[in-house]
Every structure is written in structure tokens, then in C-alpha cells.
Amino acid sequence: MQQDSKYVIGVDLGGQTAKIGLVRSDGYIAGRRVIRTDNYGREALAFIKDLAFEIKDLLLNCGEPVIQGVGMGAPNGNYFTGCIENAPNIQWASDTSVPIAQLLSAELGGLSVTLTNDANAAAMGEMEYGAARGMKDFIVITLGTGLGSGIVCNGHLVYGHDGLAGELGHVCVKEGGRKCGCGKKGCLEAYASATGVAVTAAEMLRKSDEPSPLRQKAVITSKDVCEAAQEGDALSQRVFDYTGEILGKALANFVAFSSPEAIILFGGLTQAGELLRAPVVKAMEDNLMNIWKGKIKVLFSPLSGSDAAILGASALAWNND
């Protein structure tokens, strides 16, 4: 045991990339790497070997500090088992259970590896460094390729009976609605995510002849929609109105569950700023019970890029000794 080590590795593993950070005990990220997660087909082990290589190479380039462990946030990452379990957005884990903590540990010579849900990691980052400092009851919603959530009640992450709690992207918001990556229909994630925004934009473009700069794009991304909306494109703005309304109604239901002090929005979609937040807050307020109207804060994460997720994941490694 290296009791004096002052560094850990935090890994934010998503549908497209894994972001690796070498994190000092004061939260300073001393080095970073990014590798893709989406070009390994069904070869989980090939990805894990590449991830281990990048971690070792990062350490080599940073003067080989002694590190205490690796904390990792990943979709459907199970804190209890160390496995990524049936994660719809990761092909090599989409219909199986990948014991990534154990396998990565083996590739790293037995170094301790702790896993949790990517959104739980973000929630830990917000609690320690971000918008939730001092809060005991809050929900973090990550709006990336998918929609994740980390729920904190009375100061503790909600893991549930099996470690898989907090799949708020997969509550049903439209009966018989859009097909979701998880196999169900009408999931919140199919609407309130980068993917959902792009689909909504494509639908709106198909349904009218209204002019929009989006019509010049061969493939529309949520970033395109965000930029067009910020430049005044009415159709793109309605995409965010629609997205925000669905998300806000869902948030009202979440409030009825755990009565949080705040809901913290995090991830790429939040770059839309008030274009997204305003319809979210309106729809949430319209659907809250009277006891909560005007009382629930809807905040954007103040942490830049994926720092919250890397820092949150790294906090797992600090806590694990």
C-alpha cells in the first residue's frame, strides 16, 4: 500500500470516447488522454488493453507518479460488481456484462480499479467541486449522447439494491414514442439528449418547408442545432423548446420522488444555455405540485468540459483505500 501517493487516475467512459485524467489530491488535473470507445466492435478486451496502454503511457509522460488507484465512471457501470452491464450505447457492452474493473486492474498490474455509473461519477464531482457543494439532496442529469443521472439523497449516492439505480434516461415519457437504444419506446433519453435533439430537428425539417440553415447539412448534430438556434434560427429554437418541455415535465416527476434542493444539468447540450434552460424550467414549474413551485433550483454545472466526470470518478479511487 502506498499511503503517501498523491495521485489517482479518473476515467470518464462514454459512448464515443474515454477521457483519462491524472488527478492530484487537490483536484488539479495534471495530465489528460482521450481514446475512442466506439471502434472496437464487440471486442471489450481490445478496448481495455488500449485503455491500460494509454494510462501507462500517460503516467510515463508525467514522470511516473505513484498512483493510488483508478476510479471510472461508465454507462451502466455497477459499483457493486465492477461490471459494465448491458450499456445500450457501448457496442462491446450492449448486451453483456463486462467486468471492466477486474480486467483493467489485471492489465495494470493489480492496481485498484473502482467503477460507478458515469452520471454517479458526475454527481460526486458536482458535490465535491461543482454546483452541489454543501447540498445533501440533488440530482445530476447528464445530457450527452444519452441521458444519465446521478441521484444523491441525504448526502449519499442512490445505488439501489443492485448498484444500478439512477437510469432516469429510461423512464417512459411518450407512450409508443421513439425507439430507444435500450430497446424500449418513448424513453426520456430518446428526446432529451444530443441524439434526441438531432432526431427532433430532422423530424421538424421533414414536416415543413420552413427555411433553416440546418437544411444545408448532410448530417445534423445537436451542435449544429445549438449554433443555428443561437444565431436566431426559429426552427432550431423550437427544437430546444420541444426538448426542454419534455425534460422539464420529467424533472417534475423526479422532484415528486426525491424532493431535491437542485437539479444540475451537465454535458454537451447545456451549451444551448437559456435556449434549453428556460423551457425546462417553465415545463417543470407548470407540472410541479404546489408545495414545490418556485423552490427547485435548475442549475448548469460550472465545471468545464468533462472535468466533473473525471474528478468524480477520481474521487472513487481516493475513497477506496
Binding site for a second copy (CB under 8 A): 76, 85-86, 95, 135-137, 151, 153-154, 156, 158-168, 170-172, 182-184, 249, 252-254, 256-261, 287, 289-292, 295
Q: How far is the CB of 82 from a second copy (least distance, A)?
A: 15
Helix (H) or strand (E) holding 97: strand 97-98
Closest separation in Å from C-beta 117 to a second copy: 11
Residues in Cβ contact with 54 at an 8 Å cutoff, skipping those fewer than 6 apart: 20, 33, 35
Four-residue CA torsion sign, 150, 154, 160, 163: positive
Name the minimum Å distance from CB 112 to a second copy: 23
**Amino acid at residue number 69:** G
Q: How many CB atoms lie within 10 A of CB 101?
A: 24
Q: Please, what's the largest Cα pairwise distance for the chain?
A: 66
Q: Where does residue 155 fall: left (phi above 0), alpha (psi -120 to 50 degrees), or beta otherwise?
A: left
Identity of residue 36: R
First vs last C-alpha separation in the chain: 9
Nearer residue to a second copy within complex by CB, 106 or 153: 153
Q: Report, in Å, the least distance between residue 152 CB and a second copy.
A: 10
CA atoms of 97 and 90, how far apart (whole Å): 11
Least spacing, CB of residue 167 vs a second copy, in Å: 4
CB nearer to a second copy: pick between 3 and 290: 290
Residue 278 cell numbers, joined: 428556460
State in angstroms the smallest separation of the CB of 164 from a second copy.
Answer: 5
When the beta carbons of 28 and 257 are compared against a second copy, the nearer one is: 257
For a second copy, which is the closer residue by CB, 161 or 207? 161
Nearer to a second copy, 63 or 155 (CB): 155
Q: At 17, is the secondary structure helix, strand, or coil?
A: strand
Cβ density class 27-53: b for 16+ within 10 Å, e for less: eebebbbebebeebeeebeebbebbbe
User: Who contacts 123 (Cβ-Cβ below 8 Å, separation ≥6)?
Assistant: 132, 138, 139, 140, 150, 151, 152, 157, 264, 312
List the one residue out of 305, 311, 286 whose CA is nearest residue 296: 286
Residue closer to a second copy (CB basis): 62 or 256 = 256
CB of 262 to a second copy, least distance (A): 8
> Least separation, in Å, of the C-beta of 151 and a second copy?
7
Identify the burial level of 153 via C-beta atoms within 10 angstroms of its C-beta, where 0-12 means exposed, 13-18 middle and 19 or more buried.
middle
Query: Closer CB to a second copy, residue 24 or residue 249?
Result: 249
Cβ closer to a second copy: 156 or 206? 156
Task: Indicate the residue among 16 and 259 with the shorter CB distance to a second copy.
Answer: 259
CB of 87 to a second copy, least distance (A): 10
